[in-house]
């Protein structure tokens, strides 16, 4: 299961020259944040795929895997 998770995370790219270094999908200019905002705003995966044909269904799984990684990080207070 970890191998599948790691393979999904490879779909997320970070390049300081693209979108100010925000995590993007496979080098495209579509950020993880944008996809999460669209989904939380009520857009369906099908709607997003129709609007952005360069995306693939597994890109959504990659976004979820990336968000899970962030949520699992310990945050130090102080």
Q: Span 40-54, mean pLDDT?
A: 97
Task: Assign 77 a pLDDT band (cuts: 50, 70, 90).
Answer: low
Task: Assign 5 a pLDDT band (cuts: 50, 70, 90).
Answer: confident
Q: Is 25 left (phi over 0), alpha (psi -120 to 50) or beta?
A: beta
In the predicted model, is pLDDT for residue 44 greater than 80? yes
Q: What is the mean pLDDT of the chain?
A: 92
CB-CB contact of 31 with 19 (8 Å): yes
Domains along the sequence of the chain with CATH:
2-69 (1.10.10.10)
CA atoms of 1 and 47, how far apart (whole Å): 29
In the predicted model, is pLDDT for residue 64 greater than 70? yes
Q: What is the pLDDT of residue 73?
A: 79
């Amino acid at each position: 299961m970890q191998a599948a998770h790691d393979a999904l995370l490879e779909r997320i790219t970070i390049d300081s020259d693209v979108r100010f270094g925000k995590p993007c999908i496979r080098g495209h200019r579509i950020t993880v944040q944008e996809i999460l905002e669209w989904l939380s705003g009520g857009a369906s995966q099908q709607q997003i795929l129709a609007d952005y044909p360069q995306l693939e269904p597994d890109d959504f799984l990659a976004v979820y895997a990336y968000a899970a990684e962030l949520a699992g990080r310990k945050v130090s207070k102080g």
